[in-house]
Structure 1
Amino acid sequence: MRRWCKLSWRWPDWRWQWRRETAQRAIKLAGASSGNYPLVNLATVDAWTGNTDAALHLLHELLGKPSGDVISVSLLKLDPAWDPIRHDPRFQALLKQTDLSSTPPAGSSQ
């Protein structure tokens, strides 16, 4: 059973498409009341299915919102859920850009 689970994560098939469609339906049904969790789930599914463009678009959108409890640069750097896109130069640029924009200017006290 464990081996089958590992294989299902490596080779996307119809189940990933079903998960993406389910996540999209959940976002539509929940609306703004559910916060950013459904978008993070959808970005994760996109990352694992090889839909890197969609995953990066969602991450860029999420990192532009106040959503530190759901997604942050630190979480993206450490969470293995983002391993499929971690080495993409656009992912690295997004982390660097967001990390720089969230750093307070030198000399400011916070």
Structure 2
Amino acid sequence: MCTEDTILPTGNIKVDKGTKIFTPIYELHHDPKYYPDPEVFKPERFSKDNFNKMPDVTYQAFGKGNRICVGMRYAQLQAKIGLVYLLKNFTVRTTIFEGGIKYEKNQLQVRLTNVEVEFLSRM
């Protein structure tokens, strides 16, 4: 929320005190200016070498600044442990249907629409 009347330096836009400003995270994460071929899965773009070359504000999965998510590292650790357990106990088989991978873009999440994922027990 804007705490005082101001004019943004980019675009000369007037913002009144009390105006709520939201960062469109999905659009930022899919901007070809920062992520060439944003719909292509390229995990190497988040390697330490490449990640340090990106402007700091282009990846905001857990927010930025003073109000960054306090559980970020804990959540990442839990996700990694969950993946290790999943891959240790299951074989993952995917079927991609005609037309390649497609996404349903909702406000809160991105979902695959034409991919079937099956978990086969290793036990």
Larger Rg: 2
Higher relative contact order (CA 8 A, sep 6+): 1
- Tell me, yes or no, whether TM beats 0.5: no
Given the two structures, how large is their TM-score scaled by the length of structure 2? Answer: 0.24
TM-score by length of 1: 0.26
Structure with higher strand content: 2
Greater fraction of residues in helix:
1
